[in-house]
């Protein structure tokens, strides 16, 4: 396992669209392990592969009671709205209030490449929305209310 460098706000890669992961192999497994470790040492709640410079649709999440990776995640349903205080490891020391869905339903593949559906609410819904945005080149500052 290794800690990878986190790409910061001005890095153009953060604005690119990540590619669908077509097959599971050792490199994907290692990338996910590194992402967990990189997230942990940086005290993050979530991390997308693009943030370590890899344009693949992979995210990792770690909050109390939830720790998992998702490959090719897609939000298929949202419900309600919540206001939250958001930050991002690519935008250190920036925290702003945003609005996110209260609940999200997400489909994707788990770490073993098996299909999963996750129904999330509260903080987990915020983290999933934030990380899945990264896969389309969207940063949370794009969603601030003007």
Cite the active site residues: 131
Q: Which residue is nearest to Ni ion (CB)?
A: 88
Identify which of residues 88 and 118 has a Cβ nearer to Ni ion in the complex: 88
| Inter-residue contact 116 to 70 (CB < 8 Å) | yes
Which of the ranges 7-15, 22-30, 64-72, 84-92 carries the binding residues for Ni ion, by CB under 5 A?
A: 84-92
Cβ partners under 8 Å of residue 9, min gap 6: 90, 91, 139
The interface mask with Ni ion, positions 107-136, x = CB under 5 A, is ------------------------------
19: DSSP letter: B
How far is it, in rounded angstroms, from Cα 7 to Cα 98? 22
Residue 72 or 90: the one with the smaller Cβ distance to Ni ion is 90
- Identify which of 79, 75, 84, 137 has the alpha carbon closest to the alpha carbon of residue 107: 75
CB–CB of 49/18 below 8 Å?
Answer: yes
Does 61 bind Ni ion (CB under 5 A)? Our answer is no
Residues 71, 88, 109, 132: which binds Ni ion (CB under 5 A)?
88
**Cβ 89 vs Cβ 42: under 8 Å:** yes
For Ni ion, give the closer residue by CB, 76 or 141.
Answer: 141
Nearer to Ni ion by Cβ, of 31 and 88: the residue is 88
| Residues contributing to the site for Ni ion (CB under 5 A) | 88
């Amino acid at each position: 396992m290794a800690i990878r460098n986190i790409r910061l706000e001005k890095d153009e890669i953060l604005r690119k669209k990540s590619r669908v992961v077509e097959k599971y192999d050792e490199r994907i497994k290692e990338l996910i392990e590194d992402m967990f470790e990189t997230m942990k040492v940086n005290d993050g709640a979530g991390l997308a592969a693009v943030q370590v410079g890899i344009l693949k649709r992979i995210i990792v999440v770690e909050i109390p009671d939830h720790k998992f990776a998702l490959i090719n995640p897609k939000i298929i349903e949202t419900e309600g709205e919540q206001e939250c205080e958001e930050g991002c490891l690519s935008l250190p020391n920036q925290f702003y209030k945003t609005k996110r869905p209260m609940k999200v339903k997400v489909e994707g593949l788990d770490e073993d490449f098996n299909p999963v559906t996750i129904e999330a609410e509260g903080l987990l819904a915020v983290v999933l929305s934030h990380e899945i945005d990264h896969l389309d080149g969207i940063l949370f500052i794009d969603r601030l209310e003007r």
